[in-house]
Structure 1
Amino acid sequence: MSGAFSIFGSYSEREIKRLKPIINKIDSFGNAMEGLTDDELKAKTDEFRKRIEDGEGIDRILPEAFAVVREAAYRVLKMKHYEVQLMGGIILHQGRIAEMKTGEGKTLVATLPAYLNALEGKGVHIITTNDYLAERDRNEMGQIFEFLGLTVGVILHDMEPEQRRAAYNADITYGTNNELGFDYLRDNMAVNKEERVQRGLYYAIVDEIDSILIDEARTPLIIAGEGDEPSDIYYTCDKLVKTFKKGEHFSVDEKRKAVTLDDAGIEIVENTFGLKNYADIENRLIQHHIIQALKANYTMLRDRDYIVKDDEVIIVDEFTGRVMEGRRFSEGLHEAIEAKEGMKINNESKTLATITLQNYFKIYEKLSGMTGTAATEEMEFREIYNLDVVVIPTNKPIQRIDYDDVVYRTTRAKYNAIINEIEESYKKGQPVLVGTSSVAKSEDISFLLKRKGIKHNVLNAKNHAKEAKIVEKAGQLGAVTIATNMAGRGTDIKLGEGVAEVGGLKVIGTDKHESRRIDNQLRGRSGRQGDPGCSRFIISLEDELMERFVPERFKELYDKIAENDSMPLQSKWVTRAVETAQKSVEGDNFYTRKNLVSYDDVVNVQRQIIYDERNKVLDGEDVEEDILDMAKTVINKTVTDYVGTQEEEEEADEFKQQLDKIISATEDICIDKGSISADEMKKMSNAEIENLIYEKAMDIYEKAKQKLGEEEIKSLGRVILLKVVDEKWVDHIDDMEFLKQGIGLRSYKQVDPVQCFQMEASEMFDSMVYSIKFNTVRNLFLNLLARLNGNGQPEELEDDELDDEIEDFEDIDEEEMIDESAAAEETEEQQEFQRLLNEMEAIEQEETEKEKEAETEQEADNQ
């Protein structure tokens, strides 16, 4: 603990001192709570809710509420919160991060702020890293909440919408970040309010917050639908970049896994595709495919980043080594890898909705989290999430001994040393946990142990429930367990009988991770709750991190000191050199995540505007006035585009031509053919022309109201607006991705890419908003005219045709996490929505056919 406080402990120590009076107040309620019957203790929940309704703040209720939970936990689970757990609970309630070491009971800590905040009735989300932990914690800790009269739910991957809705409506809901994030995106794609499952994002407690908000932050959540047929450009670009030479035609930034075309490469691309200037924005599609082909061929390694199984590319999670069935790399990278491997490319996916985890969690009114290792990333938590980290002291002093790193020249020598160390501990019965950075390295260690006849378990994060049981036994006498970085995380390793006498759990790290935090997590598996134990990292100069970041002079020094490859180097200087390398990588990764959020912050503002507008429509708000305002905007722009601002005198003939164009344009948007003429407009001002056109449009609108009924017209307006918003937003997401892909090239012109992105994204958003207005007005008035003219009752579409018409709303394939949940049963509102949609689609089809006929006639006249 002293090590943690020596870095930034003065702040944490001050914060802990501030908690003492609150802890004393909680303790003062202890005897009173012990004297209550079960029914009297349960009744406290209703009492607290009444006090909140009467205006009392939950901060004033906190000491008594925490005392209630403490007593309930003891009665239900025979667990009583320690003082340090009360401290952690207060920090979480305050919307901060509590760093608590492994074995300090973080799961129990979360019950305190969860209960207190659930009393407000807005819902509390407790977020874990996988379904197994979510279900386990709900079943165990949920007993405390249910004893006190609160409802508890859990969100699991295979749940139906109705089950999800019920879980979110509970007072406290357990779930994973992916499930909750995708439900948010799906809710904002719903075509009626009954399809939504979440009820708002009030307060989140994130377990293993560093894993979720930092390790997984570089991968956005993406829901995708099937896009266009794949083009040959993937194969063309793949074939082309395979001829390139690294360092001559392109450069690879190993730290960021980024690729850049050099001048020689640019010249070849320009010649191949006949481009004048590769960097021009109109070439962004080719830029995108070339970069993805380069990434696929020169940064993505088969059997490390992905595997090929049954003619399918399957992603391997870089943190767990887990094969991620059903997921696909985003932004065309998956298709580029398929081309690289000479496989059939599946239909390109089209992004329907996306959000980064950073911006998803920023939506919560209050956010807090727990982890055993947050101190090293405190600056990032402050800068991106506005969260500070408070280190909570351990309940008992840490006795684990962390030895200095041992470095060997070669991987072979490292492996020999690891096996010898394991064998030595195995002979005396001391349990050993061996941490590796990949599945392949776990299998290497396992193979060598089998040759020595040493029994062991291998955890590769493929089955959370099975792994949890193995991890629970990893502290027994003679146990040897090999685990990838994150395998079994969330489960404590408790020492078996007689293990303390042989030195406790020994942890051996076989690689240094890019992040010191991951290494600290591995060390933290030993020495829980004051248990004895030790940790040591045994590494080699051939390890990936060492080859990339350790300076050459270090390797030269090793050669001078070491007599042969099997001689180790062990000193604090070695450990410091490795930490320096890790800090360098952490800085690069922080830059990448910060850059990602800088771009997504721009899109996030736009996303919230669109989602707010959708929700207005779904919640049944009257959008009639909004649509009529859109009509005024569209008419104004149409008139201005054709007539200008009337600052200069126009020739009579030219002015008449412009008026004819206005008439033609507005007849295609919102008025009946022949309802106005150029003669009646030629002496009018712009404003008078706009008023005339608007009056004609309103005549149509009012007649439609009288014939079809006001509610029918308003419902039609809502359906059209929703459909147009969704279509334009999906296209805009694609445009933003292309813009982001090509924006890096602007740095060559000494322009800040992020600033450039902000400006162009804003212009593109304004253009999309006008497009929404134009298409909404046009579609609505074409529908009204068709109905008034007797063409508004199209035949019912067959089921298979209907599936084609309502694109992107069904059979949604998530690019990062496929959800195969069945659609909810149709409500009357859904049926009404689809009826109106069917009619609208049929009318649009009829108008398209008319336009084609008119074009054909025009071509015949010209000939």
Structure 2
Amino acid sequence: KRDSEWMGPLYMFHGLSVDCIDKTEPNSPERRKAYQADITFGTNNEFGFDYLRDNMAIHPEDLVQRKHHYAIVDEVDSVLIDDARTPLIISGPVPKGDIQMFDEYKPRVEKLVRMQRELVARIFTEAKALLASGDRKQEEQGAILLLRAYKGLPKYKPLIKFLSEQGNKATLVKTENIYMQENNRRMPEITDELYFVIDEKQNSIDLTDKGHDTITAAGEDPNFFILPDVGSELAEIDKMNLTEEEKLEKKDQMVQNYAAKSERVHTVNQLLKAYTLFELDVEYVVIDNKVKIVDEQTGRIMEGRRYSDGLHQAIEAKENVKVEAATQTFATITLQNYFRMYHKLAGMTGTAETEAGEFWDIYKLDVVVIPTNKPVIRKDANDYVYKTKREKYNAVIEEITRLVGEGRPVLVGTTSVEVSELLSRMLKLRGIKHNVLNAKLHQREADIVAEAGKSQVVTIATNMAGRGTDIKLSPEVRAAGGLAIIGTERHDSRRVDRQLRGRAGRQGDPGSSQFFVSLEDDLMRLFSSERIIRVMDRLGHEEGDVIQHSMITKSIERAQRKVEENNFGIRKRLLEYDDVMNSQREVIYKKRRHALLGERIGVDIANNMYDVCEALVEEHKEANDLEGFRMDVLKYFAVDFDIKEEDFQKTSANNLTERLYKEVRDTFSRKTETIAKQAFPVIKNVFEQRGEMFKNIVVPFTDGKRAYNVVANLEKTYKSEGEELIRAYEKSIMLAHIDDAWKEHLREMDDLKQSVQNATYEQKDPLLIYKFESFNLFKSMVDKINKNVVSTLMKGQIPFEAPEEVKQAEEKRTDLSKMRTGRSDAPAAQTNQAPRKTEPVKVGPKVGRNDPCPCGSGKKYKNCHGKGEE
């Protein structure tokens, strides 16, 4: 919005029109007008959501976007790399949530976490005593206990402090390497004593047998939280001396038991993550009784974004705020795939050089470095490395005091809200005035940044990426040495560090940057080489001592490179998964767009009919099942196809398909003519009496199972003698079935993505299995759409007896702007719970459980439509 207002006059002077989508409401005529401009400004998320909303629109006039031609992305590294892993999702509520499960298991998990904390505290105290004993055997035992404490709670603060002291981290790493040999064969010796094991790098938690026993309540099944081995259990059932029917029943029971248990285990796992891996004021904040995620790159709150897979609900339960209902995905796309739709893509940023390889690999974009307007004279010092965070923060405060004394402004970059508040308290104790800019106080952002260049002003800010406003310096500040940047921790990504450094020394201004690092920082704990630890130990470090050496700075950059490579691998893998989804999305959205615009609806429906005819002929010709064939033709087309057994045997599949298709087309033509004739007198009456008042009319249709309200243009319907109503009917049915099937398919694809990950244990590539299985799912979805569309069209009729049933179509559209849009913080894995379909009330004789199902499938009632009935 700001950029469009700044640059707009310049473009308009050159005869170009400029608009900004952020000033308008979704799906509004104003937004469509904004997209018609020569240059359209907007935020990347909103462009993505508009694309998704366009593909959920019910009326052509709701469409806002044009074709994707040329995109220029500001802060392109932030958008296409940092945000690439998080999909844009439009979601809606699921009737049954799993809220009660979080509340039910929260006390158990709280108790388990408390017991683990007490256990780790005891183990750690004993480990310290043994390591300090001086006896070699006792020291070895102490090292084992130290590893056990680390596996139990790696973020336990006394443990983090202890590991930063001389030789301790090296002892831990050495012991861990011994127990990790031969594919972790001996690791259970370490972990069996714990209640659960945390792998901080993988962000995962596993309950031990001891944990299972503790969390299972008295009198409960001892396997209450243990997932059965489905394969072996199914094999066991097959071996049993039972009838096929009883075996099927047992298998159904086993699968239902597995589904209930997996939901239970998943809930407990997410609660454990919430309590042990996610910290308040670091990964998230609580504002107005709502849990809000903090962007680790920029330090801003991510409005509308939720952790996926039930993790957000687990954190809500932990913080005792309202647990929001589970949601179901209606439409989703990643920013990567959205921007790859543009014929031409470009962007600019100050920090793309380190990611040049990724830009080329994924987007085929070259990175060109443009020389600075004036030479950079900022002084970038080597990092100061301290043992503990306490020493580091004290040194930061001393440095701030010194710089303020020199009359220089200071900008302090922190990685979390918690650290910014800690430094703020320390500065208050020293009586140093300062401003704080973090996720909780972002409203005053522009004012705080504008003041940041004044003499002796101290500004503490969580990651300064893309904070936009330039920091202007006065002449006396330039003379004093310019803006001083202090980084309190190295970020996982070199780019974020460069962005912080880049706040000083702009346009040839003087300035300096200095990072303060401690061995307790996350990056150093998880990825720093043991060389740094050995060097510090060799130099015999005392408390408060600092190391500053180019070798250490390079070593930290190597650790960052490791993290970046790891993240690039994850992003690339995710993109490979999303590419499968993307090709399916394009096919469905193209099919949907054709139906929405109605330009070739007749051709599409004819193709659908032919495909269903072909599928039925192939299926039953192969099985040589004339009776089944006639039943299915009756079921899907409501046509009694008269064919003798001899004809069925002799006629080729192609000829039989053609015969059936001709019969179906003729029946459909007769049917639509009848509907048009039946409706036209009423439409004529409405048009002649109230034509000036009505633009559109709603005509109710039903196929005996579900009611559809079809909206048609009154004047066109009158002039075409009812033909326009038939076109509107075809369009409505097509859209309804495509949307229903696509929502269900998205959920199945989410489930598939989760389930294929187990293939790695069988030495198989999950991606290949995902591609193969997703193709089968897609094929069956398209088949289902075709059958449902054809079946509804062939059976549909107008149920009204009186003209009053045709009423004016109110100007009421699906307001997609009110639907929930958000960014999932993980690949979009939503809920396993399918929305309940409302079944029609059936009147007729009760069907026995073992009788054939009346739907004509040939299955027993209890294994078909009678499932779930007691």
TM-score bracket for this pair, using the shorter chain length: 0.7 to 0.9
1:275 Cα deviation (Å)? Answer: 4.9
Partners of 2:411 and 2:483 within 8 A in 1: yes
The alpha-carbon distance between structure 1 residues 420 and 190, as it changes in their structure 2 partners (threshold 3 A), is same
Partners of 1:278 and 1:287 within 8 A in 2: no
1:208-264 residue CA offsets vs partner (Å, 9 max, x unmatched): 111111111121111101112213555677677775975558665433534567899
1:584 Cα deviation (Å)? Answer: 1.2
1:642 Cα deviation (Å)? Answer: 3.4
Measure the CA separation in 2 of the matches of 1:190 and 1:548: 47
Measure the CA separation in 1 of the matches of 2:467 and 2:287: 28
Paired residue type of 1:712? L
1:335 Cα deviation (Å)? Answer: 2.8
Measure the CA separation in 1 of the matches of 2:444 and 2:737: 48
The alpha-carbon distance between structure 1 residues 574 and 345, as it changes in their structure 2 partners (threshold 3 A), is same
Mean CA deviation greater in 289-298 or 185-194: 289-298
The alpha-carbon distance between structure 1 residues 168 and 462, as it changes in their structure 2 partners (threshold 3 A), is farther
Mean CA deviation greater in 701-710 or 335-344: 335-344
Measure the CA separation in 1 of the matches of 2:231 and 2:454: 61
1:508 equivalent to 2:486? Answer: yes
Partners of 2:378 and 2:510 within 8 A in 1: yes
1:454 Cα deviation (Å)? Answer: 1.4
1:733 equivalent to 2:756? Answer: no
Paired residue type of 1:227? V
1:402 equivalent to 2:380? Answer: yes
1:504 Cα deviation (Å)? Answer: 1.0
1:607 equivalent to 2:613? Answer: no
Partner SS for 1:272: coil
Partners of 1:639 and 1:686 within 8 A in 2: no
1:645 Cα deviation (Å)? Answer: 5.7
Which one of the candidate residues 820, 824, 827 is aligned to 1:813? 820
What residue number does 1:136 align with?
2
Mean CA deviation greater in 442-451 or 699-708: 699-708
What residue number does 2:334 align with?
356
Which one of the candidate residues 167, 175, 181 is aligned to 2:42? 175
Segments of structure 1 that go 5 or more residues without pairing to the other structure are 1-134, 647-657, 819-843
What residue number does 2:843 align with?
853
Q: Kindly report the root-mean-square deviation, in angstroms, between the aligned alpha carbons of the 2 structures.
A: 3.5
1:310 Cα deviation (Å)? Answer: 5.2
What residue number does 1:216 align with?
83
Measure the CA separation in 1 of the matches of 2:41 and 2:321: 40
Partners of 1:436 and 1:483 within 8 A in 2: yes
1:525 Cα deviation (Å)? Answer: 0.7
Measure the CA separation in 2 of the matches of 1:279 and 1:406: 56
Partners of 1:435 and 1:485 within 8 A in 2: yes
1:424 equivalent to 2:429? Answer: no
Partner SS for 2:729: helix
1:205 Cα deviation (Å)? Answer: 1.0
Partner SS for 2:71: strand
1:503 Cα deviation (Å)? Answer: 0.7
Partners of 2:486 and 2:513 within 8 A in 1: yes
Paired residue type of 1:297? L
Measure the CA separation in 1 of the matches of 2:807 and 2:261: 40
Which one of the candidate residues 304, 322, 336 is aligned to 2:282? 304
Measure the CA separation in 2 of the matches of 1:205 and 1:735: 35
1:707-730 residue CA offsets vs partner (Å, 9 max, x unmatched): 314433232112111111111111
Paired residue type of 1:397? P
Which one of the candidate residues 132, 150, 155 is aligned to 2:21? 155
What residue number does 2:58 align with?
191
1:573 equivalent to 2:551? Answer: yes
What residue number does 1:277 align with?
229
The alpha-carbon distance between structure 1 residues 792 and 666, as it changes in their structure 2 partners (threshold 3 A), is farther
1:555 equivalent to 2:545? Answer: no
Paired residue type of 1:703? R
What residue number does 1:257 align with?
203
The alpha-carbon distance between structure 1 residues 508 and 614, as it changes in their structure 2 partners (threshold 3 A), is same
What residue number does 1:16 align with?
none
Partner SS for 2:396: helix
Paired residue type of 1:639? V
1:479 Cα deviation (Å)? Answer: 1.8
Which one of the candidate residues 198, 201, 204 is aligned to 2:68? 201
Which one of the candidate residues 265, 269, 273 is aligned to 1:294? 269
What residue number does 2:666 align with?
699
1:810 Cα deviation (Å)? Answer: 7.7
Paired residue type of 1:255? K
What residue number does 1:415 align with?
393
Partner SS for 1:814: strand
Partners of 1:660 and 1:678 within 8 A in 2: no
1:573 Cα deviation (Å)? Answer: 1.4
Partner SS for 1:205: strand
Paired residue type of 1:743? V
Mean CA deviation greater in 325-334 or 196-205: 325-334
Partners of 2:225 and 2:265 within 8 A in 1: no
1:333 equivalent to 2:323? Answer: no
Partner SS for 1:313: strand
Mean CA deviation greater in 545-554 or 565-574: 545-554
The alpha-carbon distance between structure 1 residues 261 and 195, as it changes in their structure 2 partners (threshold 3 A), is farther
The aligned length equals 683
1:808-863 residue CA offsets vs partner (Å, 9 max, x unmatched): 96841124399xxxxxxxxxxxxxxxxxxxxxxxxx99x944xx335636779999
1:625 equivalent to 2:577? Answer: no
What residue number does 2:424 align with?
446
Partner SS for 2:573: helix
Partners of 1:255 and 1:585 within 8 A in 2: no
1:541 Cα deviation (Å)? Answer: 1.1
Partners of 2:16 and 2:38 within 8 A in 1: yes
The alpha-carbon distance between structure 1 residues 274 and 462, as it changes in their structure 2 partners (threshold 3 A), is closer
1:770 equivalent to 2:778? Answer: no
Measure the CA separation in 1 of the matches of 2:326 and 2:751: 15
> Quick one: percent identity of the two aligned structures?
43
TM-score by length of 1: 0.73
Measure the CA separation in 2 of the matches of 1:340 and 1:790: 54
What residue number does 1:750 align with?
763
Partner SS for 1:478: coil
Partner SS for 1:149: coil
The alpha-carbon distance between structure 1 residues 533 and 187, as it changes in their structure 2 partners (threshold 3 A), is same
Measure the CA separation in 2 of the matches of 1:253 and 1:696: 64
Paired residue type of 1:179? E
Paired residue type of 1:757? Y
The alpha-carbon distance between structure 1 residues 475 and 289, as it changes in their structure 2 partners (threshold 3 A), is farther
Measure the CA separation in 1 of the matches of 2:226 and 2:538: 56
1:588-609 residue CA offsets vs partner (Å, 9 max, x unmatched): 1111111111110110111111
Partners of 2:519 and 2:525 within 8 A in 1: yes
Partners of 1:157 and 1:179 within 8 A in 2: no
Partner SS for 1:323: coil
Paired residue type of 1:641? E
Measure the CA separation in 1 of the matches of 2:300 and 2:645: 73
Give matches, 1:362-373, under 5 Å. 362-373=340-351
Paired residue type of 1:222? I
Measure the CA separation in 1 of the matches of 2:560 and 2:267: 28
Partners of 2:74 and 2:347 within 8 A in 1: yes
Partners of 1:467 and 1:487 within 8 A in 2: no
Measure the CA separation in 2 of the matches of 1:275 and 1:470: 53
Paired residue type of 1:219? T
What residue number does 1:521 align with?
499
Partner SS for 2:84: coil
1:676 equivalent to 2:676? Answer: no
